[in-house]
Chain A
Amino acid sequence: AQKVTQAQTEISVVEKEDVTLDCVYETRDTTYYLFWYKQPPSGELVFLIRRNSFDEQNEISGRYSWNFQKSTSSFNFTITASQVVDSAVYFCALSEGTGSNTGKLIFGQGTTLQVKP
């Protein structure tokens, strides 16, 4: 069965600290997609990144970076030099298959990140 586990329920850091949010997934498919979404206090779900199962290259986007390791079924998210505006709930999600038939996202329980000034 598909499953996404975000073991960290809440993380609190001080501004400018680096923080890593962990995500471990389970799937039997060889083709799948992994996502990270941010949910700020206002409630909307903001897309951050999509990674397919064939691309294990790490990705960096500004202060954000993602480490995808198939060997450990992990897709961790690091925020460098955190800022107060990074405070939000972050969700990792898994989608199996390809093409227009997919889209059923399995979400983790989310990690609440609090960045203190």
Chain B
Amino acid sequence: DSGVTQTPKHLITATGQRVTLRCSPRSGDLSVYWYQQSLDQGLQFLIQYYNGEERAKGNILERFSAQQFPDLHSELNLSSLELGDSALYFCASSARQGSSGNTIYFGEGSWLTVV
């Protein structure tokens, strides 16, 4: 158990819909990351938040957005869903206060199927 909690584990929704994926980082971790794993693109970095602020952006579509709340949990919002958005979405966390290095621990992922 990595300590990173993601909900829901599985989600099936229709094209055009909007979903929200939720992530609770490991206790004390300030950074939250979102990754997408698809068959054709592999594992790709989407976005990073550190202590509530956006810190880095990757290949995140404009239809997708994320935020990190004061309690450090994060949400990834996916809107106007397309069939190609079907993927495994991972949340990860790192950077406990006072520690060095950046070991990144992943949650179990949220399987999104768009039909």
Q: Are A and B a genuine interacting pair, yes or no?
A: yes
- Chain A interface (Cβ < 8 Å from any Cβ of B): 33, 35, 37, 42-47, 50, 52, 91, 93, 95, 98-107, 109-110
Chain B residues closer than 8 Å to A109, beta-carbon distance: 42
User: Residues on B close to A: CB < 8 A?
Assistant: 2, 30-31, 33, 35, 42-45, 48, 50, 55-56, 58, 88, 90, 92, 94-95, 100-109, 111
Of chain A, the residue at the smallest CB distance from B93 is: A103
A45 to chain B, nearest CB (A): 4
Interface contact A91-B50, CB-CB below 8 Å: no
Indicate if the CB atoms of B95 and A100 lie closer than 8 Å.
Answer: yes
A47-B56 contact, Cβ under 8 Å, with A100-B30, A103-B33: no
Cα–Cα distance between A46 and B101 once the two chains are bound (Å): 18
Docked-complex contact B31 and A47, CB < 8 angstroms: no
